[in-house]
Structure 1
Amino acid sequence: MTAKNQLSGRCALFLLLSMSAAMAGVAQAETLQGALAKAYRSNPTLTGARAGQRATDEGVPIQKAAGRPNIGANAQFQELVVRPSNQFLAPHRSANATGSIDVPIYQGGAVRNSVKAAKTRVAAGQADLRGTEASVFSQVVAAYLDVIRDSAVVALNQANVKALEVNLQATGDRFEVGDVTRTDVAQSESRLALARSNLQTAEANLIASRENYIALVGEVPDALQPPPALPGLPATPEAAVQVALADNPDILAARKIREATRYDVRVAKAGVLPTLSAFSQGSYTDYLDKDIAANKQVAVGATLTVPFYQGGRPGAQVRQRQALESQAMEQEIEVERGVIAQTRSAFASWQASLESIQSNQKAVEAANLSLEGVRAENSVGSRTILDILNAEQEAVNAKVQLVTARRNAYVAGFSLLAAMGHAEADDLNLNAGALYDPMVNYDRVKGKWFDWDFDPAPRVQSTRTVDSPAQNANVDPGLAQP
């Protein structure tokens, strides 16, 4: 897939999602774009990941601090309680103040490479944040479609129960006049009981889906609108894999982690190199006695440290970092393999679901025709009550499978976009205000050097759902027509 095609696909995705929001005319109706925007603003997994990335950003100024001057001072007051016999002239009390400045000049490259490793880990963390966005959005899409699917399944089962209740009443009436047998009545009662059991299961599934939606989005699902089409999907699994290898955030994060471990090896190798630092020290001692003059001292100099033997520690540290670099290299391949498998699997699931939709659509049409025919034939005595019950059950099953296939196709398509790295906030044109840019915080903190430069106390960014009402299984009966 060319860059031009990818760009046009993303633009089309922007347009369709925006049109979906603009065309939602039902009061308080929710669109998929709106649900994603709410999750983007207040989902605790996302807001927590952003906080974690801000913590990673601080690794850069922390490593830079090792190459900056270190300034310190201390003060001491001393009261001589018992004077030694050979120091009868020693003052009873004294006050002393000292100050020092240490300036690292050369640290064997440890500081430089530690800063580079920290910067690389910031880039890896930003890629991980992209991956978290895609993961949360995939969960929201699945939860959104689960509510739509389970609402339709409940409506279908409700309609089936009502139809079987009417059928049981009619069968009972015919039994009273001797038109059918007691067996026919028993069969109708059995099917009605099973239908009610299926309805209860469907209602429980719907409640669970709605509660899961609340956990992800933070609000109650209300009149969810059909999702827009998913443009920009690849024509072949090979095309999908090529895009994923270039854009998948998990691969980018693993690559950056591997680069960071290379700098870690260089930091460890600095342990066998000389270090040079400059220093300045001063002290002032006042004996708090008029007869004894104060003592002042100032010294400047440099310290050169040349390690000759450290018990084998540096060699072990270098080998350890090299082993970790080797591990990171293997993990990069592992992540790449996983992404390739995930992309191909999502493509296959998407294609299979599309074919399943067509097959189930035909099954629904055939089941409806069959049910009409069986009812007509029963009216002239050529079909039994059991035949009608079987035909009704087949029609319900076909409709349930159809709405399930539609849900599976959309979720698989979005999962494919996520595996390709094209299911993040920048791709979806979310109506969520300004998007979170992790570079803003990094640029803010990367050059900070003041010891007392603190941030305000953190505040919760996500929303709680404790006040949301417990969900029920009430649905629009019109959903019984998939």
Structure 2
Amino acid sequence: MPSPSLQTLAVRGPRWLRLGAAALIACAALSPAAALDLTEAYRLALDNDATVRAARAAADAQRERLPQARAQLLPNIGASAGRAHNDLTRTQANILGQPVTSDERYYSKNASLTLRQPLYRPALWAALEQARAVVADADATLQAELDNLGPRVASAYFEALYAHDQLALVREQVRVAHIQLDAAVKAWQAGTGTRTDVDEVQARLDLLRADELRARQQLDFTRHGLRALIDREPDALAALDPQRLVLSPPQPLDLDAWLAKAEQGNPTLQALRARVQVAEQEVRRAQAGHLPTLDAYAQVTHSASENVTTPSSRYTNRSVGVQFNLPLYAGGAVDSATRQALAELTRAQETLQATRRDLGVRLHREYRAITEGIERVRALERAVAAAELAVTSNQRSWAAGTRTVLDVLNAQQQRQTALRDLAQARYEVLLARLRLWALAGESVEEEIERINAALR
């Protein structure tokens, strides 16, 4: 929407200003909205993706475990008070042996203030260390979700771009097939062509129209997938510019170095190590069921009219001391809890080991997808160039009468197939880079910025 000053100039200003203002207003009205690029899509997903929001909420909830565990080791202060109305009916024999009944009514009250400080409670200290490990697990799990978001957004973004590329290629094939059909019909009518050529081109055109419909459906599906991540309609997407794209192998060019990076920086491994620590502290908590506990306490109690014999008395009691508890027998519950905790520890350790091995396989796959994918891109670039030459040669040969119109269509289809495969190979290399970065615990956002520089 142009500013009011431009509108005023377009109506009331001098003629040269009116022309300039009108041109600016027309440009503002005709200029398309800026295309959504990969960086903007990633930032929108950071704010709107439901999975990331759920991970943040889960991390916030788990972080509260630490102050709760710490509170168990701090002084506990409690106060209580009560007031009661007592109605006592008493029957007893008098000096003559006759029963005498009396009713006595009185109020009683009591109030107390107690402070208790744990001095020796191994289970509580184990719970504190366990809470720290739980928080570390939550933070690492959240980071894993954030790192995984980059490849998820890039995958949805590139799928939408690839679907757009496919639709554009099919439309180009449809356009060329229309031209070839028109030429085949004219040649048949002029007596220089055959009905067979017309039928074959028509059949090819019908197949291409079916492919175009399928490509439209795929484009709509992929755009819906991207919209689910960013929570807005992606009106236009910034396309990949092959002239700006520089595909380089990962640095360092050593798979073992990437494995070492992942061992230290992968957030999923960090979360699993924290879970092993949680299980170790759970073993300590279970074993502490056999150990004694020692608390210090201080208490002040005030009471009045506690019983019928002293209805008017008041008491104030102050006490300071320590309390020692020694569990002797719990029916085998402590031993059972210890065995359960040891089994959970073994499970956590084995899960960590299995994930470490799986991470090595995934790193190897993504590393090879980059290094070999770059070679595939270069091979497909040569294939596209060769296909372009083949199309030109077949068109010239058809004009000379040595090739049929179907030969020209086949050459054009091979070129379009090579272009489609080339686009897919580029997207796969870029996505493999993001996945490798995420697995190794590297900055995914920086890699997204580098990829985004190759979009137009």
Counterpart CA distance in 2 for 1:104 and 1:270 is 18
Per the alignment, residue 35 of structure 2 pairs with 29
Amino acid at match of 1:46: V
Of 53, 60, 80, the residue aligned with 2:59 is: 53
1:32/1:253 CA distance change after superposition, 3 Å: same
| Residue equivalent to 1:470 | none
Decide whether the 8 Å contact of 2:282 with 2:341 is kept in 1: yes
AA matched with 2:114: I
**2:144 matches 1:126:** no
Alignment of 1:399-414 (within 5 A): 399-414=419-434
Distance of 2:412 and 2:62 partners within structure 1: 60
Offset at 1:286?
A: 5.4
- Matches of 1:277 and 1:393, distance apart in 2: 84
Shift of 1:417: 1.0
Q: Quick one: distance in 1 between partners of 2:69 and 2:394?
A: 79
Residue 269 of structure 1: CA displacement?
Answer: 1.5
Indicate whether 1:67 and 2:67 are aligned: no
- RCO comparison, higher one (Cα < 8 Å, 6+): 1
Q: Could you say which structure has the higher strand fraction?
A: 2
Residue of structure 2 in register with 1:358 after alignment: 378
TM-score (norm 1): 0.77
Q: Which residue of 2 aligns with 1:454?
A: none
The match for 2:208 among 159, 176, 195 is 195
User: Alpha-carbon deviation of 1:107?
Assistant: 4.1
Q: Does 1:44 align with 2:50?
A: yes
Question: Is 1:296 equivalent to 2:309 in the alignment?
Answer: no
- Kept in 2, the 8 Å contact 1:73–1:97? The answer is no
Question: What secondary structure does 1:252 align onto?
Answer: helix
Give the number of the structure whose alpha-carbon radius of gyration is greater.
Answer: 2
CA distance in 2, matches of 1:247, 1:158: 46
Match of 1:476 in 2: none
CA distance in 1, matches of 2:350, 2:307: 68
Q: Distance in 1 between matches of 2:247 and 2:146?
A: 18
1:378 aligned to 398, 405, 420, which one? 398
Task: Output one character per residue of 1:209-257: Cα deviation in whole Å (capped at 9) or x when no partner.
Answer: 1111111122333231438657764313222212111211111111121
Give me the whole-angstrom Cα distance separating, in 2, the residues matched to 1:233 and 1:224: 27
Equivalent residue letter for 1:36? Y
Structure 2 unaligned segments of length 5 or more: list them.
Answer: 1-30, 93-99
Instruction: State the alpha-carbon separation in 1 of the partners of residues 216 and 286 from structure 2.
Output: 60
CA displacement at 1:194 relative to structure 2: 0.8
1:237 to 255, 262, 273: 255
CA offset at residue 90 of structure 1? 6.2
User: How far, CA to CA, are the matches of 1:93 and 1:196 in structure 2?
Assistant: 99
* 276-285 vs 199-208, greater mean Cα deviation: 276-285
Q: Which residue of 1 aligns with 2:173?
A: 160
Q: In the TM superposition, what are the counterparts of 1:136-285 in structure 2 within 5 Å?
A: 136-221=149-234, 222-226=236-240, 233-279=251-297, 280=299, 282-285=301-304
CA contact (8 A) 1:175 1:181 kept: yes
Please state whether the residue corresponding to 2:215 is helix, strand or coil: helix
CA RMSD between the two structures: 2.8
**Mapped contact 2:434–2:444 kept (Cα < 8 A):** no
Q: Is the CA contact 1:93–1:287 (under 8 Å) kept in the aligned structure 2?
A: no
- Please list the CA deviations of residues 69-111 of structure 1 after superposition, one character each: whole Å capped at 9, or x if unmatched: 3333444444456735359666435243333425143343111
Q: Which runs of 5+ in 1 are unaligned?
A: 1-24, 431-478
Per-residue CA distance 1:411-467 (angstroms, 9 max, x = gap)? 11111111111144587679xxxxxxxxxxxxxxxxxxxxxxxxxxxxxxxxxxxxx
Distance 1:193 1:316 in 2: 72
Counterpart of 1:457 in structure 2 is: none
Correspondences of 1:421-432 after superposition (within 5 Å): 421-425=441-445
Shift of 1:283: 4.1
Q: Secondary structure of 1:94's partner? A: strand
Q: Distance in 2 between matches of 1:63 and 1:90?
A: 53
Structure 2 counterpart of 1:262, one-letter code: E
Letter in 2 for 1:224: A
**CA distance change for structure 1 residues 205 and 66 in 2, over 3 Å: closer, same or farther?**
same
Alignment size in residue pairs? 406
Query: CA 1:194–1:115 in 2, change beyond 3 Å: closer, same or farther?
Result: same
Indicate conservation of the 8 Å contact 1:91/1:287, yes or no: no
Give SS of 1:303's match. Answer: strand
Q: Which moved more, 1:119-128 or 1:224-233?
A: 224-233
| Alpha carbons 2:75, 2:118 under 8 Å: kept | no
Counting aligned pairs with the same residue, the percent is 25
Quick one: structure 1 residues 32 and 234, their matched pair in 2 at CA, closer, same or farther if it must change by over 3 Å?
A: farther
More helix by percentage: 2
Post-superposition offset of 1:306: 0.9
Q: Secondary structure at the match of 2:78?
A: strand
Given the alignment, which residue of 381, 387, 391 partners 1:367? 387
Paired residues of 1:102 and 1:277 also in contact (CA < 8 A):
no
CA contact (8 A) 1:286 1:294 kept: yes
Give the 3 Å change call, closer, same or farther, for CA 425–397 of structure 1 in structure 2.
closer
Instruction: Report if the CA contact (8 A) 2:90-2:102 is conserved.
Output: no
Contact 2:91 2:102 survives alignment (8 Å) = no
1:407 partner letter: Y
Query: In 2, Cα distance between the equivalents of 1:368 and 1:417?
Result: 36
Question: Is the 8 Å Cα contact of residues 230 and 414 (structure 1) preserved in structure 2?
Answer: no
- TM-score, with normalisation over the residues of structure 2? 0.82
Paired residue secondary structure (1:293) = coil
Q: Which of 439, 445, 449 is equivalent to 1:419?
A: 439
Verify the 8 A CA contact 1:184 1:386 in the aligned structure 2: yes
Q: Is structure 2 residue 406 aligned with structure 1 residue 389?
A: no
Q: CA 1:121 to 1:185, structure 2 compared with 1: closer, same or farther past 3 Å?
A: same
CA distance in 2, matches of 1:106, 1:159: 81
In 2 relative to 1, CA 189–266 (structure 1 residues): closer, same or farther, beyond 3 Å? same
SS of residue matched to 2:109: strand
Paired residue type of 2:312 = A
